[in-house]
Amino acid sequence: MSESPILTVRHGRVGVISLNRPAQLNALNDALMDALGKALLDLDGDSDIGAIVITGSDKAFAAGADIAVMADWTYMDVFQSGFITRNWETIRQVRKPVIAAVAGYAMGGGCELALACDIVIAAESAQFALPEIKLAMLPGAGGTQRLPRAIGKAKAMDMCLSARMLNAEEADRYGLVSRVVPDAELQTTTMKLAIQISGYSLPALMAIKESVNRAHEASLTEGILFERRALHARFASADAHEGMHAFLDKRKPVFQHR
Ligand code: HXC
């Protein structure tokens, strides 16, 4: 039996998914993306989980879509099977915070997967590129849309049209990643952050994620209205009352995730 393309472990309220095709630098094929989507939905539906981490190996987060598989596909193959839409976009259904922990290569679809996560922690060794142009392809897993939103049109055009690779420091400066840490600290920093986040009130986290994502999809007026409704809804939450009273009582809040 071949090894599973992903590995999932739980640490308290954190679910960690490791991409696991080391010989192919975690190139993303259907088996991997199907398994990743299923693991994400399982963790999202598990009331004992408050945050999800996606990580790769020391050498590669993921080197992109599996070129060996794609090389002979026809238009009809990808159109009829719904390539990308079918199993790469599952992550968009996830309502809990998703953190990417990236070391080594995050290229093509690997970079796009990181861009689809909510927080990206990069090791100093991380390298980000959308090199599809070298294959006469296109960053078609959200790259042409999420990258300009993340780093602006000028830098996104540079990366997409020239295949320019960013190191971790550049990616940090451009706003592609949230933080950069030494390689040896990537997993501990990410876990510490994930544990911290997963300890907060889950419905509040979900409402914040939904509201921040609105910033990309709505006008400012619509986005502010959405945010205001989400804020008002917090007053229907036991956790919000507990959080504020705990502050006033100078004690730690005990959240019920309700
Ligand atoms: C399939 C891949 C792969 C990929 C690496 N491998 N990337 N296989 N698809 N995307 C395989 C190699 O063929 C090789 O297999 C093994 O992994 C190790 O890779 P090397 O090239 O030997 O390693 P190295 O010299 O360290 O170079 C690392 C690298 C390079 C710079 C990341 O592998 C590379 O350029 N990979 C392709 C990156 C890329 O173009 N990504 C975008 C793909 S398109 P063997 O059997 O020889 O050991 C894409 C589109 C998504 O992502 C959007 C939808 C279309």
**68 CB under 6 A from ligand 1?**
yes
Could you tell me the two tokens for 6? 């992903």
Q: Residue 227: pLDDT band by 50, 70, 90 thresholds?
A: very high
User: pLDDT value at position 96?
Assistant: 98
Q: Residue 93: pLDDT band by 50, 70, 90 thresholds?
A: very high
pLDDT digits (tens, 9 = 90+) for 115-142: 999 999 999 999 999 999 999 999 999 9
- Is-contact 34 86, C-beta < 8 A? no
User: pLDDT value at position 68?
Assistant: 97
- Is-contact 141 83, C-beta < 8 A? no
- Is-contact 131 163, C-beta < 8 A? yes
Catalytic residue selected from 37, 50, 108, 109:
109
- Is-contact 19 55, C-beta < 8 A? yes
Return the best residue to mutate from 33, 67, 125, 132 for the ligand 1 pocket (most ligand atoms within 8 A of CB).
67
**49 CB under 6 A from ligand 1?**
no
Report how far apart, in Å, the C-alpha atoms of 167 and of each of 124, 126, 144 are: 8, 6, 19
User: pLDDT value at position 255?
Assistant: 98
User: pLDDT value at position 3?
Assistant: 87
Query: Whole-angstrom Cα distance, residue 206 to residue 80?
Result: 34
